[in-house]
């Protein structure tokens, strides 16, 4: 089996297992920089240089982390879109909306946008700061006239999580997060067109939530009253594996 056929889920797990014992213990527990790293630093500060030398020696190795190796979605449909620079990409918006429609990248870029420099916290224990630009999700929802009974926004992604090409990544957020001014459908990262590894052509940024809520490769958005009927019924790919649906930080 070549690397391309390894599912993202297996890549995710192998990254966790390939990391240090500390990360292994942390596993897939809810873990953000804000709650975990400060504890480590606080403990470290109590150790004087002399004490640290005594315990570990000056040649002891610092903790290292596994490389985060997200690859491009294992999907022929996605590869065909990427081959044309996403010129044929359309974001479909459906469900509890008065005017369902789709948006080309040019149409998304014409909507009200926001640029923000924010920190991404992944449950695997890493964080990264990036400058994101994208269409406000509120502008998209206003354009399609979200119905009052809509309670959640579901994001369907292009990347299959199973080796047989099924089990697409998906996520959902509630209306409070959907209408939040910092919730955007990002198409740029650090002043460049959003790279494939970070979710091209469009990925969700929902800044008050942990990393797995930030759906990449978003192909379709659906407004729903409940997500009980979707996939495992828990509102997201990782939620169906036991992660919390509400991952606020």
Ligand X SMILES: Nc1nc2c(c(=O)[nH]1)N[C@H]1C(S)=C(S)[C@@H](COP(=O)(O)O)O[C@H]1N2
Q: Which residues bind ligand X (CB under 6 A)?
A: 8, 70, 122, 157, 159, 169, 197-199, 211-212, 214-217
Kindly state whether residue 211 participates in binding Mo ion, applying the rule CB under 5 A.
Answer: yes
Rule CB under 5 A: choose which of 122, 139, 196, 249 binds Mo ion: 122
Select from Mo ion, ligand X, none the partner in contact with residue 215, using the beta carbon and a kind-dependent cut-off of 5 to 8 Å.
Answer: ligand X
- Give min distance, CB of 50 to ligand X, in A: 39
CA atoms of 81 and 217, how far apart (whole Å): 11
Strand 184-189 with 101-103, pairing? unpaired
Select from ligand X, Mo ion, none the partner in contact with residue 75, using the beta carbon and a kind-dependent cut-off of 5 to 8 Å.
Answer: none
Kindly state whether residue 139 participates in binding Mo ion, applying the rule CB under 5 A.
Answer: no
Kindly state whether residue 130 participates in binding Mo ion, applying the rule CB under 5 A.
Answer: no
Select from Mo ion, ligand X, none the partner in contact with residue 70, using the beta carbon and a kind-dependent cut-off of 5 to 8 Å.
Answer: ligand X
Residue closer to ligand X, measured from CB, 119 or 197: 197
- Give min distance, CB of 116 to ligand X, in A: 15
- Give min distance, CB of 112 to ligand X, in A: 23
CB 123, CB 28: distance < 8 Å: yes
- Interface ranges with Mo ion (CB under 5 A): 122, 211-212
């Amino acid at each position: 089996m070549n690397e391309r056929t390894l599912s993202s889920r297996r890549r995710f797990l192998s990254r966790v297992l390939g990391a240090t014992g500390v990360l292994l213990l942390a596993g897939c527990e809810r873990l953000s920089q804000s709650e975990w790293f400060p504890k480590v630093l606080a403990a470290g500060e109590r150790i004087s240089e002399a004490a640290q030398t005594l315990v570990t020696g000056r040649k002891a190795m610092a903790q290292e982390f596994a490389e985060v190796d997200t690859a491009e979605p294992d999907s022929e449909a996605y590869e065909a879109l990427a081959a044309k620079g996403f010129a044929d990409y359309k974001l479909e918006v459906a469900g509890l909306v008065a005017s369902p429609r789709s948006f080309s990248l040019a149409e998304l870029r014409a909507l009200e946008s926001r640029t923000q420099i924010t920190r991404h916290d992944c449950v695997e224990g890493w964080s990264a700061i990036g400058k994101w630009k994208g269409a406000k999700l509120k502008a998209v929802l206003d354009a399609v006239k979200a119905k009052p009974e809509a309670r959640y926004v579901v994001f369907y992604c292009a990347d299959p999580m199973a080796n047989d090409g099924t089990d697409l990544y998906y996520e959902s957020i509630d209306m409070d997060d959907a209408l939040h001014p910092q919730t955007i459908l990002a198409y740029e990262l650090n002043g460049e067109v959003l790279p494939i590894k970070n979710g091209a052509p469009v990925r969700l940024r929902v800044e008050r939530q942990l990393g797995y809520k930030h759906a990449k490769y978003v192909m379709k958005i659906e407004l729903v009253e409940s997500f009980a009927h979707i996939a495992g019924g828990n509102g997201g790919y990782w939620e169906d594996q036991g992660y919390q649906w509400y991952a606020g930080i």
